[in-house]
Structure 1
Amino acid sequence: MTAAGIVHLGVGAFHRAHQAVYLDDILADDPQWAIVGASLRRADMRDALAAQDNLFTVAIRSGDETKLRVVGSLKTIYVAPEDPEALLTAMCDPAVRIVSMTVTEKGYCHDPATGDLDPAHPDVAADLVRPRAPISTPGLLAEALRRRREAKIVPFTVMPCDNLPENGPTVHRIVAQYAALIDGGLARFVENDVAFAGTMVDRIVPATSEADIAEISAKLGVEDAWPVMTEPFTQWVIEDRFPTGRPDFAAVGAEMVGDVEPFERMKLRMLNGSHSTLAYLGYLAGYETVAQTMAAPDFARLIMGLMTEEVMPTLDVPGADLGAYRDALVRRFNNPALKHRTWQIAMDGSQKLPQRLLGTVRDRLGAGAPIDRLALGVAAWMRYVTAVDEKGAAIDVRDPMADRLKAIGEVAGRDPEKLAAAYLGVEEIFGRDLAASDDFVRPVVAALAALLDRGAAATVSQYGRGGH
């Protein structure tokens, strides 16, 4: 019988196209590592997959080719808001030795500018009132660890798989800070006795459309209520910190390392930073997908220049060929079969900007180096979150701070200096240092002025050709 050795929080498309595939390969030789999944918000994924025994299709698309694979590593899915006790019971099963997560940057209830827990976050505030029935990721982890400690069950290893800088230490700190608000002894236990294994995950996974469902079901000859679409490329770099045991990740292609941070920084800055820049500018210019955006030569030149001249000099990754990685990213961005929507990538920018662009900005400013393309990416985000596009139509901005950001734009109007100053005043995103840096403010205002005056396509043409 297949046993569940992993609980995964956040069973979304990315997890099913990435970690679940690696674990499916592992189960062929080691059946103790099935996954108990958890949805932290809605029941739709559980309901869709329950009728098909939690089997689902991964469709790998490249050019005109689509390869299908049915994955069976997901044993069951709990819906935390419906029954948090059932999920906590699963997390306390002695057979479970890893709790992993893909809850997105906003799921950690933290301040993106500092990397610390935000105790005023609504979910955290609710958990502090009812810590035995938590709804937040930090709350669930802390309560499960508390129960295991009380029952004298060894703690599981926490394995975050989200795009956070130094995601292992960052999540360790967040959970310890949460625990300290509950119980000092629990906080010390989390700090000293619980392992946190950092990771770098990479695979482009667009949202599944109704057309995708129809196409995949037709190819399979049986209905799949929720397949996932992805690309051939996949990468998983994992810090080897699993004191109570782990699957043989390396046997199925994962890279086990002592320190994941250089790899994580490379991916966050090169792939994710470029993706966000493409998303805001591409959406504003009227492009629906990343591949359509990259097919415009000015945008391709801009992204190549961004990675080569402004991002790569900030990176030092042992054994990595940054030029080859850049070239592979450009090929992946150009894959027309993926249909990765710019609007989807643009979601939750207030949570993504600090790690995707602002860390690079700070390093470049510290080196006295130019940041023109990085500043354009930041300005494009500012233009996007005003929630009005270049034709005067509303933009459906999906972001935890969407209402606040829209209100800032309405008050500041189309004056680039006022608009930039107002957004730079959001300390949860920019901290205090960047708003005080003329070397940062000046190019951001210049880029924002160009976007407001000439639009995204003309501005990208100017920047892509090296003129600012």
Structure 2
Amino acid sequence: MIQKTLPKLSNDFRKLKRYPTRVIQFGEGNFLRAFVDWQIQQMNKQGLFNGGVAVVQPIANGRTKNLDTQNDLYTVLLEGKLEGQTVQEHEIIECINDTVRPTEDFDAYLDLAKIDTIEFIFSNTTEAGISYDPNDKLVPHQAPNSYPGKLTALLYTRFKLGKKGFQIIPCELINHNGNELKRIVLQYADDWQLGANFKQWVETENDFYATLVDRIVPGYPKDRAEALQQEWGYQDNSIVKAEPFLIFVIEGDPKIKTLLPLKQAGINVVVTDDMQPYRNRKVSLLNGPHTTMSPIARLAGIETVGEVMADKDFYKFVNDEMYQEIIPTVALPEAELKAYAEGVKERFENPFVKHELSSIALNSISKFTARLLPTLKRYVAKEHKLPLRITLALAAYLKIYQGQASFAPQDTEAVLAGFDKIKAQPNYIHLALSETAFWGEDLTKINGLEAQVTQFLTDLDTKGARQIVAEINAN
């Protein structure tokens, strides 16, 4: 129990002034708070940005009300190694001015369009968040379901007010995320008959950037939270733990370097006209192994990334996936890829970070599609055989989504409903792999994949995940 003498985190702890709101942020989860908001805090401390954030809770269930109870303050705890030096530090993040819940008060959300000082829109609504919902409508007092639908409504309100547009910087881990977000906004503009002038305003008065974000954020340190709060001298129910490493790659108009002076604040940001090499390296060699290990290790009773890397069998499994299945498929110099892989393993082994595999498992189907399916297809095209480790991960996901694990899948309502319809069918594997709504294509057309997934599902039931990992390691 936290001692009653500890004060609750509140405005009494503020050191910086409350700046005008310059940012709308869709998402209040751990990542954005330890990534975007942390960076804004660094710029504000140095007098480079002087802006606050209005956080929009993109779905009905979220934690903005928890943040409100402590005046939207929270602590970021950085622990790990950076450039060979051990980092252990914490900081109260003070840049959030307000929180808004469109599903509860859509009009209050649209009122954000009236604020002249707002220039930037950031988002991280997971890979599933940048998607088109044909059921979304623009009606009074009712928020569209999707993030792009909500954004379109906000932009249209801004347009009708005759105000300037925004710098729109999505952080969702899908390729060309800014282009895809813009495409869906324009699709809604057509669906809702918002007019050619609005579409022209979207095109000419707003800038959509593509990004790559990289920082491992395990989230709330539940095993140490009480001790940390005693050490710091205040209560905080929204602590976010992260590694000190960070890179933010932004593709788009170079003016963003001036508008958003991250580099001047000493932050590892890259503004480029081609982010693909950075994306391919990171998505393949960091997110890919994360997405592979999550279902397999959890089925074996392992709970964290650190435990995976400390386990002899699973360490070899992850290492071999990197060197045998991923690196041969990425079109970058091999030496550079190997050096990056070793750095990723060091980050995975970070003794200060307890990165729960369950947190990686959120929206696993879209993550597999974005992070592993391209590698699987490139590997098959090059080697004319299946990458067994990635294929095992796919089988493990199908086992979990069929309801055959001791834990439940965490995904969008649409994905879970899709699996509910087929999980009791005798041809479940075929139906799951052929469902284009899950993967964007029919995976049964990949030679041998259905047969191998079927075999792995049988093996998972009879042998267990650890035994299969050991057998693959022995090959």
Fold conserved between structures, TM > 0.5: yes
- Between the aligned partners of 2:442 and 2:272, the Cα distance in structure 1 is 33
The Cα shift of 1:340 comes to: 1.6
Higher alpha-carbon deviation: 12-21 or 376-385: 376-385
Per-residue Cα deviation, 1:263-308 (whole angstroms, up to 9, x for no partner): 2232222211211111100100011111112221221112112122
- What CA deviation, in whole Å up to 9, does each residue of 1:365-399 have, x standing for no partner? 3334432222122112112212223xxxx422212
What secondary structure does 2:116 align onto? coil
Matches of 1:33 and 1:314 in 2, distance apart? 42
> Normalising by structure 2, what TM-score?
0.86
RMSD: 2.6
What is the distance in 1 between the residues matched to 2:62 and 2:143?
22
Matches within 5 A, 1:238-317: 238-241=250-253, 246-251=259-264, 252-253=266-267, 254-316=269-331
Q: Is 2:115 the partner of 1:105?
A: no
Could you say which residue in structure 1 is the equivalent of 2:78?
Answer: 60
Give the gaps of 5 or more residues in structure 2: 1-17
Matched AA of 1:35: V
Determine which of 210, 213, 218 is the counterpart of 2:225.
213
Equivalent position of 1:114 in the other structure: none
Confirm whether residue 411 of structure 1 aligns to residue 425 of structure 2.
yes
Shift of 1:133: 4.3
Most deviating of 128-137 and 343-352: 128-137
SS in 1 for 2:129: helix
1:388 is matched with which residue?
404
Which residue matches 2:337? 322
Q: Secondary structure at the match of 1:321?
A: helix
Aligned residue in 2 for 1:140: 150
Correspondence list, 1:55-454, <5 A: 55-62=73-80, 66-108=88-130, 110=131, 117-119=132-134, 125-130=135-140, 133-183=143-193, 184-185=195-196, 186-191=198-203, 193-208=205-220, 210-241=222-253, 246-251=259-264, 252-253=266-267, 254-316=269-331, 321-370=336-385, 371-389=387-405, 394-400=406-412, 401-412=415-426, 418-454=427-463
Instruction: Indicate conservation of the 8 Å contact 1:208/1:228, yes or no.
Output: yes
Q: Cα deviation per residue 1:339-363 (whole Å; 9 max; x = unaligned)?
A: 2222221221122221011122222
Aligned to 1:5, the other structure's residue is in SS state strand
1:87 Cα deviation after fit: 2.3
Q: Give 3-state SS (helix, strand or coil) of 1:462's partner.
A: helix
- Report the identity percentage: 26
How far apart, in 1, do the equivalents of 2:445 and 2:201 lie? Answer: 40
> Which letter does structure 2 place at the counterpart of 1:216?
L
Aligned residue for 2:8?
none
Q: Which amino acid aligns with 2:34?
A: A
Cα distance in 1, alignment partners of residues 142 and 403 from structure 2: 39
Give the corresponding residue for 1:34. Answer: 52
One-letter amino acid of the counterpart of residue 163, structure 1: L
The answer to whether the Cα contact below 8 Å between 1:57 and 1:71 also exists between their aligned partners in 2 is yes
Change in CA separation of 1:57 and 1:317 when aligned onto 2, cut-off 3 Å: farther
Could you say what secondary structure the match of 1:411 adopts?
coil
Could you tell me whether the CA contact under 8 Å between 1:98 and 1:246 is conserved in 2?
A: no
Shift of 1:448: 3.0
Relative to structure 1, is the Cα distance of residues 289 and 210 closer, same or farther in structure 2, using a 3 angstrom cutoff? closer
Give the TM-score, by structure 1 length: 0.87
Aligned residues of 2:434 and 2:443 also touching (Cα < 8 A):
no
For the residues of structure 2 that align with 1:242 and 1:255, how far apart are their CA atoms?
10
Inter-partner Cα distance in structure 2 for 1:440 and 1:191: 42
Does structure 2 conserve the Cα–Cα contact (< 8 Å) formed by 1:57 and 1:70? Answer: yes
Matches of 1:448 and 1:169 in 2, distance apart?
37
Q: Does the CA contact (< 8 Å) of 2:76 and 2:239 recur in 1? A: yes
Amino acid at match of 1:411: Q
- Matches of 2:384 and 2:53 in 1, distance apart? 46
The SS at the match of 2:468 is helix
Whether the aligned pair in 2 keeps the contact of 1:166 and 1:264 (CA below 8 Å) is no
Amino acid at match of 1:50: D
The superposition leaves residues 399-426 of structure 1 with CA deviations (integer Å, 9 ceiling, x where unpaired) of 22224325533323xxxxx443121122
For 2:390 and 2:222, how far apart are their aligned partners in 1? Answer: 35
Once the two structures are superposed, the pairs formed by residues 14-29 of structure 1 within 5 Å of their partners are 14-27=31-44, 28-29=46-47
SS in 1 for 2:76: strand
Q: Deviations over 1:422-451 (max 9, x none)?
A: 211221123444212224334333433332
Amino acid aligned to 1:40: P
Q: Which amino acid aligns with 1:38?
A: V
Kindly provide the amino acid, as one letter, of the partner of residue 25 in structure 1: Q
In terms of mean alpha carbon deviation, does 399-408 or 215-224 score higher? 399-408
- Tell me which moved more, 7-16 or 55-64: 55-64
Partners of 2:471 and 2:310 in 1: CA distance: 17
Contact 1:127 1:136 in 2 (8 A): no
Check the 8 A contact 2:219/2:239 in 1, yes or no: no
